[in-house]
């Protein structure tokens, strides 16, 4: 099978020739430090992994008077090319900081402004000052926020160029400046996780209003995906895991909104993978009930989560493709190649039977031993059906 055929078959829980093996985002830090600035595709080719091409081209809804923000350069990690309108203007200012790159963003609207500060280092970026500070800020978002659409022609072109190398993957539209795919995860990015959790107790009706606003914006984007050629799109996020919120909060504030997005994606012919980089075991069936084609990341307890891979396979492996399960924190560092190979076999024995399993690290990795990645990839290729 080609890389693409193997991954697609696994996503549809159909037979494959061997265990599909890939990774989540390949981080620029790793590529620069360990592979001399190699490209993502060169990484996949070097280790002969089943490749994933990530892309998120968007376009403005010109019927609403929207347009691209001029001269902002390439979008950063988990960001899209910025889109503005006369009523939603984005301004940026670099701030001095001894340790981190720091940028203050101001979104100007006819009725007030929203501000946020984003910081970053060689590893990643994060929110230092959240956007949604006051509850009244929601009024500005509801009235003036732009609604980016998928640039289907650009996705089709990239998909055609990628061919049989692997699949073309992306994520559901995040909020401007810094957001993530799921409604709750997006809320946590623009509000702050602790505040978001407290809001569910102090003012649950307002939280539902925020989530509905984020959902509706994402629905506009999802409806524009039809015919794009995406093989897989990510939804969810770590703040929806049970190492962050309770199953009760998940069922009240996550499941109803993300389920609506999955249903719309299905109508548009798009597979969804639901990403929960954290605790999953108490909500496995709740996630599967939303109807995604796949679930990830199945992070093991030794990495701070709770997943029993064999038990997860027993409970939901007949309903969804499982992606992840590998402990990259230890078996890409500080062990022998044989230990890495043994762990690959353990994952295959626990989740591989019957297919529908794609071996991958449980989310990102930064520092690693190249020999251990080679052992990971080689042993997975030897796991045949």
Backbone angles phi, psi at 357, to 5 degrees: -135, 130
What is the predicted pLDDT for the residue at 36? 96
pLDDT score of 72 more than 70: no
Exposure string over 223-253, b if 16+ CB within 10 A, otherwise e: ebbeebbbbbbbbbbbbbbbebbeeebbeeb
Percent over 70 (pLDDT), the chain:
98
Q: Is residue 64 part of a domain?
A: no
Identify the CATH number of the domain in which residue 51 sits: 3.20.20.210
Q: Among 90, 107, 130, give the residue marking a domain's end.
A: 130
Instruction: Tell whether 40 and 163 lie within a shared domain.
Output: yes
Q: Is residue 139 part of a domain?
A: no
Cα distance between the two ends of the chain: 12
pLDDT score of 71 more than 90: no
pLDDT mean across residues, the chain:
96
Span 49-56, mean pLDDT?
96
pLDDT score of 43 more than 80: yes
pLDDT score of 79 more than 90: no
Instruction: Tell whether 293 and 199 lie within a shared domain.
Output: yes
What is the predicted pLDDT for the residue at 329? 95
Instruction: Tell whether 309 and 226 lie within a shared domain.
Output: yes
Residue partners of 182: CB distance under 8 A and separation at least 6: 172, 235, 236, 237, 239, 240, 254, 257, 258, 275
Q: Is residue 171 part of a domain?
A: yes
Collapsing DSSP states into helix, strand and coil, what is residue 59?
A: strand
As a whole number of angstroms, the distance between CA 34 and CA 46 comes to: 13
Query: pLDDT tens, 150-178?
Result: 999 999 999 999 999 999 999 999 999 99
pLDDT score of 276 more than 70: yes
Query: pLDDT tens, 202-244?
Result: 999 999 999 999 999 999 999 999 999 999 999 999 999 999 9
Q: Is residue 26 part of a domain?
A: yes
Span 186-199, mean pLDDT?
98
Instruction: Tell whether 167 and 90 lie within a shared domain.
Output: no
Confidence of residue 196 (pLDDT cuts 50, 70, 90): very high
Q: Is residue 345 part of a domain?
A: yes
Q: Structure tokens of 196?
A: 């978001």
Instruction: Tell whether 335 and 282 lie within a shared domain.
Output: yes
pLDDT score of 76 more than 80: no
Q: Among 79, 97, 130, give the residue marking a domain's end.
A: 130
pLDDT score of 77 more than 70: no
As a whole number of angstroms, the distance between CA 18 and CA 239 comes to: 33
Q: Is residue 140 part of a domain?
A: no
Q: Is residue 135 part of a domain?
A: no
pLDDT top residue among 76 and 184: 184
Q: Which residue has the tokens 């890389």?
A: 3
Instruction: Tell whether 297 and 358 lie within a shared domain.
Output: yes
Instruction: Tell whether 227 and 327 lie within a shared domain.
Output: yes
Instruction: Tell whether 160 and 268 lie within a shared domain.
Output: yes
Instruction: Tell whether 27 and 100 lie within a shared domain.
Output: no
Sheet with 357-361, side-by-side order of all strands:
51-54, 166-171, 232-236, 272-275, 294-296, 321-326, 357-361
Span 56-69, mean pLDDT?
95
Q: Sort strands 166-171 and 294-296 into parallel, antiparallel or unpaired.
A: unpaired
pLDDT score of 20 more than 80: yes
- Across the chain, the runs of DSSP E, i.e. the strands, are 51-54, 58-59, 67-68, 83-84, 89-95, 101-109, 112-120, 125-129, 149-150, 166-171, 232-236, 272-275, 294-296, 321-326, 357-361
Percent over 90 (pLDDT), the chain:
96
Instruction: Tell whether 108 and 197 lie within a shared domain.
Output: no
Cβ(375)–Cβ(340) under 8 Å? yes
Identify the domain containing residue 105 by its residue range. 69-130
Q: Is residue 138 part of a domain?
A: no
Domain count, the chain: 2
Instruction: Tell whether 102 and 171 lie within a shared domain.
Output: no
Instruction: Tell whether 109 and 201 lie within a shared domain.
Output: no
Question: pTM of the prediction?
Answer: 0.96
Least confident span in 60-74, 216-230, 241-255: 60-74
Span 22-29, mean pLDDT?
94
Span 93-114, mean pLDDT?
97
Omega cis (within 30) before 297: yes
């Amino acid at each position: 099978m080609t890389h693409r055929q193997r991954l697609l078959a696994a996503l549809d829980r159909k037979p494959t020739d061997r265990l599909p093996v890939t990774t989540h985002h390949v981080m620029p830090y790793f590529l620069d430090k360990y592979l001399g600035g190699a490209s993502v595709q060169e990484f996949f080719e070097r280790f002969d992994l089943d490749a994933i091409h990530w892309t998120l081209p968007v376009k403005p809804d010109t019927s609403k008077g929207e347009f691209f923000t001029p001269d902002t350069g390439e979008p950063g990690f988990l960001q899209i090319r910025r889109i503005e309108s006369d009523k939603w203007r984005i301004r940026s200012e670099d701030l001095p900081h001894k340790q981190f790159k720091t940028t203050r963003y101001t979104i100007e609207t006819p009725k007030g402004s929203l501000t946020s500060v984003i910081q970053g280092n060689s590893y990643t970026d994060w929110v230092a000052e959240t956007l949604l500070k006051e509850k009244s800020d929601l009024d500005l978002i509801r009235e003036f926020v732009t609604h980016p659409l998928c640039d289907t022609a650009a996705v089709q072109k990239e998909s055609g160029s990628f061919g049989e190398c692997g699949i073309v993957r992306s994520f559901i539209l995040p909020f401007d400046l810094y957001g993530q795919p799921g409604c709750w995860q997006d809320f946590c990015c623009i509000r702050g996780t602790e505040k978001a959790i407290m809001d569910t107790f102090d003012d649950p009706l307002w939280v539902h209003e925020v989530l509905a606003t984020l959902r509706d914006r994402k629905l506009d984007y999802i409806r524009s995906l039809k015919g794009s050629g995406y093989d897989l799109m990510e939804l969810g996020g770590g703040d929806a895991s049970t190492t962050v919120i309770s199953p009760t909060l998940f069922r009240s504030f996550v499941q109803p909104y993300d389920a609506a997005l999955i249903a719309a994606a299905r109508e548009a012919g798009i597979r969804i993978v639901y990403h929960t980089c954290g605790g999953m075991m108490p909500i496995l069936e709740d996630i599967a009930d939303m109807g995604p084609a796949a679930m990830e990341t199945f992070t093991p307890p030794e990495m701070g989560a709770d997943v029993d891979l064999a038990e997860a396979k027993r409970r939901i492996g007949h309903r969804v493709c499982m992606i992840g399960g590998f402990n990259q924190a230890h078996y890409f560092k500080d062990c022998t190649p044989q230990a890495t190979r043994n762990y690959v076999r353990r994952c295959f024995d626990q989740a591989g039977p019957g297919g529908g399993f794609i071996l991958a690290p449980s989310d990102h990795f930064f520092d690693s031993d190249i020999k251990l990645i080679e052992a990971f990839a080689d042993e997975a290729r030897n796991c045949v059906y």
